[in-house]
Amino acid sequence: AQSVSQHNHHVILSEAASLELGCNYSYGGTVNLFWYVQYPGQHLQLLLKYFSGDPLVKGIKGFEAEFIKSKFSFNLRKPSVQWSDTAEYFCAVSPYNQGGKLIFGQGTELSVKP
């Protein structure tokens, strides 16, 4: 079955610390990859996406993600987090032949201490 696994359920960091959130997926075919962010009380917003080309993708607010095909991974990184990055982060996969539907990971809650 297709699935997306996010390794950390809750991450707590101090401001200026570096962030890496893990994401692995299980699907043998071509996929599009996404990271969405959900700030407290708000809806999901697209952080970044990968379709093809350079496996290192840069998104908004200083976030980036690297697609490693051999590891079926799409980890999210940020060199220096801010208090305003406190949110829940969702990795999602869209298998190419399935009409664009998204399969989400369980989410990682990030708390940044000021």
Partner 1 sequence: DAGVIQSPRHEVTEMGQEVTLRCKPISGHDYLFWYRQTMMRGLELLIYFNNNVPIDDSGMPEDRFSAKMPNASFSTLKIQPSEPRDSAVYFCASSLGGLAMESRKETQYFGPGTRLLVL
Beta-strand relationship, 10-14 and 108-113: parallel
Site membership for partner 1, residue 8 (CB under 8 A): no
Size of interface with partner 1, in residues (CB under 8 A) = 23
Residue in 58, 71, 101, 113 binding partner 1, rule: CB under 8 A:
101
Residue in 8, 22, 44, 62 binding partner 1, rule: CB under 8 A:
44
Task: Give me the least distance between CB of 36 and partner 1, in Å please.
Answer: 8
In angstroms, the CA 85 to CA 70 distance is: 29
Torsion angles phi and psi, residue 69, rounded to 5: -60, -40
Site membership for partner 1, residue 97 (CB under 8 A): yes
CA distances (Å), origin 66, targets 5, 61, 77, 107: 16, 16, 8, 18
In angstroms, the CA 42 to CA 55 distance is: 29
Residue in 28, 40, 100, 114 binding partner 1, rule: CB under 8 A:
100
Q: Binding residues for partner 1, per CB under 8 A?
A: 32, 34, 36, 42-46, 49, 51, 90, 96-107
